[in-house]
Structure 1
């Protein structure tokens, strides 16, 4: 791992957990204590962290802390685009099937447009998606356990990962923070990436859904490469050249039409 990648990972852990321990980072990144301490010195100089004896704490009023909108607010961004993507994804599902839905704003729209009275089995780590899917009284809903991440209303951690090993689903629907031709589908959160990987292992067909803003962005870590993905669904606002390159990797690309409409 390059120095810049390592320091970005430490910075993201600081943003998430408010503190880091040298011993934990040594084990996670497989480097020496001296290397980690140098990284923390640089983050301190950048005004992001304050070093202490065993590690560092986040400087809460740092101007570099990213603003991550709650999932209910993210649903409002490009909502029409996400809705048509969600409808296109949901149309793949047939009566009686088992599906896994990842937490996220676009996957919420998938849940909203699932076939009515379809006797579906829905497995999710997202509280808001479980609530949405529960409106269909014929659906069996399984909510994975774990630690709650409030911004995404998702449950993450070893408990959820263990539970996923019990399931085999017809479809897995995943959102993504970014899509890179080099890295595949990526997440900006290490813990959510682990859940996504577990979902990939539990699915027969892997479907990634994303609006056009996610293209040519790379998150912190890859959760699914193109070889593991069966279908990618986006809108016709997405660059056709990039879609062709994704298609060339063997992924089926479905484009939901939105021509002539504007988004904010």
Structure 2
């Protein structure tokens, strides 16, 4: 297991349990205690934990935040290094003066962060947190779709959002997905969110799905796109290579992002 993947697992344990012990982690991941201490030092520098004798506890700020933030915010912390690498590759596709549709979601939020330095963009999104992230740059136009608020994902859905998307002709649409099925294509856990995703696909010249490795072993409730509807999938080297080859055989370009392999 490479370092970013291991640190993500440590984050998940901290978020679930509130504390971890060096000896337990070393045994669980089959690495030295010194390697685990370096992991904890890195996570402490990120402000996620506070080290103590023999282990670490979740930082107080995070304890308070986890008590009040919605699930979409919590998902940003899961597989963060992987999502960040995927988002960086996605954002590299975008040139200045481009029209971009950003789906709601934790990985597309990372895409928004990496678009900070791309000037003169027009961004259309149904994600409230994505609109907020994009607003930090004053030289861009931001259009937040209207509709019904889905609190768990802080996104707007419904006929209003779908109708508004008919007005746009974007260069790119970056979409998240709850799961990827070789039989059903790209899937969503929410019927209304899937309908907005379909409208985004119709409104874009090029459709890019950004997905961490976990999405390739999940099959959600509703299919929102077949492989023929998507131009490119961007994921990481943690994704199952056999599944990626089958997706490529469907005519989809697959981009695999490497992750840092330091201990």
Q: Which runs of 5+ in 1 are unaligned?
A: 1-68
Between Structure 1 and Structure 2, the one with more helix by share is 2
Residue 74 (1) aligns with residue 75 (2): yes
SS at match of 2:217: coil
Q: TM-score, normalised by structure 1?
A: 0.72
Kept after mapping to 2: 8 A contact 1:122/1:142: yes
Larger relative contact order (C-alpha < 8 A, sep ≥ 6)? 2
Shift of 1:260: 2.4
Kept in 1, the 8 Å contact 2:76–2:107? The answer is yes
* Counterpart-to-counterpart distance in 2, 1:79 and 1:165: 33
Task: Indicate whether 1:86 and 2:66 are aligned.
Answer: no
Q: Which runs of 4+ in 1 moved over 2 A?
A: 259-262
> What is the correspondence of 1:24-63 to structure 2 with a 5 Å cutoff?
none
The answer to whether 1:131 aligns with 2:132 is yes
Q: 1:142 and 2:124 equivalent?
A: no
Structure 2 residue 180 is the aligned partner of structure 1 residue 179: yes
Whether the 8 Å CA contact 1:236–1:259 is kept in 2: the answer is no
- 1:106-121 counterparts in 2 under 5 A? 106-114=107-115, 116-121=117-122
Matched, 1:161 2:162: yes
Alpha-carbon distance in 2 for matches of 1:179, 1:216 = 7
Distance 2:117 2:96 in 1: 9
CA distance in 1, matches of 2:118, 2:76: 25
- How far did 1:132 drift? 0.4
Structure 1 range deviating more: 211-220 or 171-180? 211-220
Shift of 1:216: 2.9
Are the aligned partners of 1:208 and 1:229 in contact in 2 as well (CA < 8 Å)? yes
Cα deviation digits, residues 25-79 of structure 1 (max 9, x gap): xxxxxxxxxxxxxxxxxxxxxxxxxxxxxxxxxxxxxxxxxxxx61100000001
**Alignment root-mean-square deviation, CA:** 1.2
Q: Which stretches in structure 2 are left out of the alignment for 5+ residues?
A: 1-69
Q: Answer whether contact 1:210 1:234 (CA < 8 A) is retained.
A: yes
